Every structure is written in structure tokens, then in C-alpha cells.
Structure 1
Amino acid sequence: MKKLTITGKSVEEIITLFEESYGIKNGEYDFEIIDKGSAGFLGMFSRDAVVEITIKKEYYERRLEEFLTNICKYFDKHIFVSVYAKNAKTFLAKIEGDGIGKIIGKHGKGLGALQHIATIFLNRLSDTKVTIIIDAGDYRERRKELIKNIVENALKRVEREGKVALDPMFSFERKLVHEFLKNHPHVVSYSVGIEPYRYVVIERRRNGDSFKTRKHRTYHHR
């Protein structure tokens, strides 16, 4: 996840200072001694120790879980948060409890805002760009069914009107729309606008509208 090369008077000093400055726990990092260092002879020709430290995913899982828990407790003290890394760049967070409705907010706006600030938080800790996906009470799964219904109704309108613009959606919702529409070759879809007002446009495929043209229109599928 993140590698650091640290120098110091000794390996022990490097590890101690590293643990204190990062608030990291045993098992959340690996280290390799590059150079043990040397005190030299009579204080001459001394050499610093060099250690390469790799911060593991467990550290980021814990930090993200703590971050989300601290926020969620202001909504309800009985909310439970669990986090695990799907891979090195994607973290999934699950929020459960009676008060999750307050976190989700109207049309999922609260959940989207929480995911946004959680992504900023974790990216500041990592040296690679990471993605955070948060679900609360299976909201995303329920939203997936709703998006499917929205797409089916939009397709009927496209048949009559030729072109339909959907309401603004979160990134994961727009991706669902595009995924659903892959099974409908007679239409093309593309995203328009700037967050948080970005929305999907669905229109009837024109004569001679090739896959290349469709790909050009849909390269902003987020």
C-alpha cells in the first residue's frame, strides 16, 4: 500500500519513531532492514541505519473504520461499521444500525457525502489513489433495483421522444445505468454536467451510429 525508506541512529529507533508518528499497530506493517548502521570506530566512520517499511492494508482498514465510526456515532450510538479491502485500491465499508436513515439522507445524498469525505481522508494517508465504497443497510442493492426501473421507464420515453435526460445521480448510479443499457443496442448513453449535478442522457441510436461513435459519447461514464 505504501512504502517508506527511513534512516536513523538504529533500527530500533526508526521502528519506535515510526510507530509513534503513524499511530500504527503491530501487524499493520512489514519492514526490511537495508542497513543496520554502524557506530564506527571511536565515533569515526559511523553510518545510519536504513529501514524500508511497508504499510499494510490492515492499517488503512482500521483507520477508515475508526474515521467512519467517529462520524456515525453523532447520528446514532448503536451504529456498527465494518471495513475491508477488496484489493489494494478499493475499500468497502458497511454501515448497520437503526439510525442509518439519517446517514443515508434524502435520495442517498448523505451517504454520498460521507463516501466523498472518507475517500479524501484515506487518500491523504496513502501514496496511491484509492476508492471507497460505502453501503448502509443494503441501500445500494435497493437503489440498484430502483435504477433498473428508472432505466426501463426511460427506454419507453426514448421510443416516443428519441432522447431523455435523467435526474442527477451519484457516480455508482450512473455506472449502473450504463451497465443496464449495454443490453439495449438501439440506444446510446452518456453523462453530462459537473458533480454533484452530473446526469445521464439516453437517446435513440441514429442511422450509421457506430460503436466507435457510442464509445466516444460514453467515455465519461462516471
Structure 2
Amino acid sequence: MKFVEKTDKTIAEAISSALSELNTTRDRVEVEVLEEPSKGFLGLFGNKSAKVRVTLKENPAEKATEFLEKILDSMKIPAVLKAELKGSSLHIEIVGKDVALLIGRRGQTLDALQYLVSLVVNSGDSNYIRVVLDTENYRKKREQTLIKLANKLAYKVKKFRKNITLDPMNPYERRIIHSALQNNPYVGTKSQGDEPNRKVVIFLK
């Protein structure tokens, strides 16, 4: 990571000088005080200046887009990446002509890319960042499809009084099913099995 070391009369002045050189702001850096300032004999001789090391924090959005750009280049898919960090969630939208190729069957390709980006963003970082990768509004469309599916199957469970087990889903899609039916008075949901074949079961209460 990029850092600079600065010496000045006070810690604040040394930090200010470092921020100016890095062309950044205080909230985007980590500061380590290497030497405290001190006054010498009678305040005249042996005065000691402050010395700090100021390091730029890794930017999750920049880290993610740089990684994705390399993947898209290797796939020869021209696209524009729009990344926005909201708290502990990083939302990335891929915009372009042929980006539908990145979705794959039931979003499997998009999920795989999202997983890889998450690994890159969270490598060596103590604060976990949740990555949401989307293109052509697939996530929203998929959510609506799953909610409709959940309600349709819940009706069948109630009508035929028989549990229904869905196909394996990733954690994000399972949460949509659970959430869609959490207030249903007639059926409940549970997950069973191990990843990546974990499934949602809709059962009669």
C-alpha cells in the first residue's frame, strides 16, 4: 500500500503535509506516529520534531473494479463498471452491449464473478464488505421471480398438504424465499443439505 513519512514541528502539521502529498483526506488514511515531538534543554537545544507514517487505506470499490476490468478484458466484453460503497456493502453494476453473457444459467456466472470479487475485496481486510454484483437489473428480476415462485409453491403445499423441496440455491436466493413466506400463516420454510446443494423446503405448519 502507498504511504509517506513526514517530519514537522507537530503531529498535526506532519499529517497535513502527508495528506497534501498523497492528495487525499484524513478519513482515507491510517496514521502511525513514529516519533513524538519534544522540546530540548531549556526549550532551546535538542528540539525533536514529530514524525508520522501516513498510509492510504485500500479502496474496496477501486480494488473491485480493477479486478473486474481485467476479467472483462480477458473475456473481450467491453463494459462500464459503476461501483458504489454503502456502509459495509459494495454494489457494482456492469453496463454494456454484451453483458447478458455474464449472467449465465440462473445467474450462476454472475454469482461466480460476485464470489471472486468478494474474495479480492476482503483479502487482508478485517472489516467484511458484502459485494453485490449486478447487470441488466438481473438481481431485481430474479428476486421478483423467486417471490412469485415462493407464493405459488406455498399455495400448493397448503392445497395438497405435502412438503415441497426446491432446487439448490445460493444463500442470497434462499433468503428471498424465506423472507417471502416468513409471515405466511399456513406454511413455513427451512434450509437443508450442504453447500453448494443446500435447498429450501416449504412445509405445512
The TM-score range, normalised by the shorter chain, is 0.7 to 0.9
Partner of 1:202 in structure 2? 202
Rounded to whole Å, the distance in 2 between the matches of 1:142 and 1:75 is: 25
For structure 1, which runs of at least 5 residues remain unmatched after alignment?
A: 1-5, 16-24, 206-222
Residue of structure 2 equivalent to 1:213: none
Q: Where does residue 90 of structure 2 map in the other structure?
A: 91
After TM superposition, the structure 1 = structure 2 runs for residues 1-222 of structure 1, keeping only pairs within 5 Å, are: 10-11=5-6, 26-27=23-24, 29-32=28-31, 34-36=33-35, 49-51=51-53, 53=55, 55=57, 59-87=59-87, 89-159=88-158, 160-205=160-205
The CA RMSD over aligned residues, in Å, is 3.3
Q: CA deviation at 1:50?
A: 4.3
Once residues 26 and 77 of structure 1 are traced to their aligned partners in structure 2, the CA distance between those partners, rounded to angstroms, is: 33
Structure 1 residues 92, 161: CA separation in 2 closer, same or farther (over 3 Å shift)? same
Decide whether the 8 Å contact of 1:80 with 1:95 is kept in 2.
Answer: yes
Structure 1 residues 69 and 54, CA gap change in structure 2 (3 angstroms):
closer
Structure 1 counterpart of 2:155, one-letter code? K
User: Which aligned segments of 4 or more residues in structure 1 are displaced greater than 4 angstroms?
Assistant: 35-38
Cα distance, 1:131–1:31 mapped onto 2, change above 3 Å? closer
- Where 2:167 maps in the other structure, the secondary structure is coil
TM-score when normalising by structure 2: 0.76
Measured after TM superposition, the shift of residue 63 of structure 1 is 1.2
Give the superposition deviation at 1:117. 0.8
Q: Which runs of 5+ in 2 are unaligned?
A: 8-14, 16-21, 41-45
Please state how far the C-alpha of 1:54 moved relative to its aligned partner: 6.4
Count of residue pairs brought into register by the alignment: 185
Structure exhibiting the larger radius of gyration computed from Cα positions:
2
Deviation at 1:36, TM superposition (A): 4.2
